Amino acid sequence: MQEQNQKRGRFIVFEGIDGAGKTTQIELLTRRLAEEGRRVHHTAEPTESVSGGLLRDALSGVSKRTPCEMAALFVLDRIFHNTNPVNGIEKMLADGVDVICDRYYYSSLAYQGSETDAKWVQDMNLSCPEIRRPDLCIFLDLTPEQSMERIGRGRVTVEIYENVDRLTRVRDRFYSVFEALAPTDRIRVVNAARSVEEIHNEIMTLVSDLL
Ligand code: TYD
């Protein structure tokens, strides 16, 4: 049993309001773990599946969806993400591969939870037997103003979830989600308004505790 547990990969999720630098930090962590001889699978939600495509169309405004449709589509996409037999999260972890995921159910609880019945969104995600709890969630934290500034600098299109009022609501919601999940989930908030290297070093300390 002990040996089986040691062989399983670790499941690490990154969350953050938009522009917090998740992509950069995930790449650095992935590279670092690989250098240490671990096998690492980098993945993201929405996924590249059919449900992920429906979500991206709605997020960019190409198609219109109600908040409940969005919440349900994210759950569908997350179930597929966990269970698909080729490179799903469960398969990877069982094969001893670490999974690093860009966004997960914390985003649903924060974004969809602020738009429709929060308890329903939470129940769908946390009570679903096919949605696994991560070993660690790292929240890259920025103020909404810092976030908008970074988004403005780096991108041409701005998605429907990106404006200061909305980001403020979502960040507050992330904080309440983390408070509610503190007894069951290992969640760490990292100040993302620092240099790339400082943030990476803090992330490495958090991840090392887990390996
Ligand atoms: P995307 O541009 O793919 O990634 P990111 O902003 O993380 O770089 O956008 C994903 C968007 O999807 C983001 O605005 C948050 C939103 N989202 C939800 O609303 N609920 C969810 O459950 C997830 C996973 C994402």
Give me the pLDDT at residue 153, please.
Answer: 75
User: Which residues 6+ apart lie within 8 Å of 21 measured at CB?
Assistant: 140, 150, 192, 196, 199
Ligand 1 pocket test, candidate residues 103, 122, 161, most atoms within 8 A of CB: 103
Residue 179 confidence (pLDDT) above 50: yes
Cα 15 to ligand 1 centroid, rounded to whole Å: 9
Q: Which fold has domain 2-210?
A: Rossmann fold (3.40.50)
Ligand 1 centroid distance, CA of 3 (Å):
36
Nearest to 10 by CA among 38, 49, 35, 31: 38
**pLDDT digit string (tens) for 46-97?**
999 999 999 999 999 999 999 999 999 999 999 999 999 999 999 999 999 9
Nearest CA to ligand 1 atom 19: 111
Name the closest-CA residue to atom 23, ligand 1.
107
Domain ranges of the chain: 2-210
Distances (CA, A) of 192 to 61, 66, 99, 187: 28, 32, 22, 15
pLDDT at 164: 84
Sheet hosting strand 187-191, strand order edge to edge = 40-44, 98-102, 11-16, 136-141, 187-191
Closest-CA residue to 25 (of 11, 37, 42, 10): 42
Q: Is the pLDDT of residue 1 over 50?
A: no
- The pTM of the full predicted model, rounded to 2 decimals, is 0.92
Q: Name the residue with the closest Cα to ligand 1, atom 5.
A: 18
